[in-house]
Amino acid sequence: MKFRKICASFLSALLVATSVGIASAATPETVQGKLEVMEKDTYGVEQTGAILERINKLEKDYDGAHRSGSMMARVDALYDEMYKNNGKPSMMAQLNAIEWNIDHEASMNSVEKRVADMEMTISGQTNEGTYKKRIASLSRASFGTEKLPMEKVIVPQNTLIKVALVDEVNTKNLKKGDTIRYKVAADVIVDGKLVFAKGEPGDGVVTNVKQARNFGRNAKLDIDYKQTKSIDGTYVNTFMGEEAKQEMKNLAMAAGASLAGIVILGPIGVIGGAFVNGKNIDLPAGTEFYIQTKSATSLYGVATTAN
């Protein structure tokens, strides 16, 4: 079973090729764009209603009071607190660190659900108050202090990240431009700092797809695994390069797989006739493989003694 799982992971890596990683997720420039991002992360879905009402709700839920100034200034201030690591970890970074310390896995759920779930886990009941206060309380309970043990660390170029597909990937249902969701499958620690936590999400995009056809024409699929979220909330440029492919080859060899039957045909890998003519590529959710960081990146990591 272990042998089959490793080989399946290895096979998926050869089947799903990549192009060069593109820039990480850009900061929205408009009030509407930033509101949408914050609302989806906070409540799970974008909210409806007038813009001022939506701003007021977010400010009340996070701060307990309303800011002054223009709509853009108010939205910018809250957005920066939630996502920007300006001299200290952002609120999202803090939330990720606390959740990992409790469950050793980060969640893809909304802030609303994550905070409530952690409160139930720790004290058996949910608390009242702003998200800021509730996150601070969770930090004290989890780490013994509101100041989390998060420190800056340089994550080297080509750092390997083990990831897993969130959804099934099948060429018969895909088209160019479709999003491929995956998540970190194992913690990544650099210099004693946790930088990518198990469960953190990543986004890929289909750059080329051809469905299987008759007369021996197999499906083809290219995916650019362009960005993966780190523990501090930063989206890091990632891709499947030579180091990632070599790691999967090493795993296959360690499991006793013979490489004699492996033939690389562009984005398509064939292992001992595992794919016959005219077949679509079908990778189940949970399929594991490796990607790597595109360049050296400065991140906040959680100090840990874990291996």
- Whether the CB-CB separation of 225 and 239 falls below 8 Å is answered with yes
> 275: pLDDT confidence band, cut at 50, 70 and 90?
very low
The arithmetic mean of pLDDT across residues 246-265, rounded, is 54
Contact assessment for residue 56 and residue 115, using Cβ atoms and an 8 Å cutoff:
no
Range of the domain at 211: 2-25+153-303
21 has pLDDT over 90: no
Residues 251-275 have a mean pLDDT of 40
**Is this structure's pTM higher than 0.95?**
no
In a domain, 131, yes or no: no
Q: What is the mean pLDDT of residues 150-177?
A: 92
Structural domain contains residue 124: no
Is residue 122 included in any domain, yes or no?
no
Any domain includes 106 = no
Q: What is the pLDDT of residues 47-73, one digit of tens each?
A: 999 999 999 999 999 999 999 999 999
Note whether residue 142 is domain-resident. no
The pLDDT of residue 177? 93
pLDDT at site 214: 65
Look at residue 255 in the predicted model and tell me its pLDDT. 56
Is residue 256 in a domain?
yes
Q: Which residue has the higher pLDDT, 247 or 8?
A: 247
The reply to whether 129 falls in a domain is no
The candidate with the shortest Cα–Cα distance to 245, out of 10, 8, 5, is 10
Q: Give residue 256's pLDDT.
A: 52
In total, how many domains does the chain have? Answer: 1
CATH number for position 223: 2.40.128
Residue 126 lies in a domain: no
Rounded to an integer, what distance in angstroms lies between the CA atom of residue 203 and that of residue 21? 11
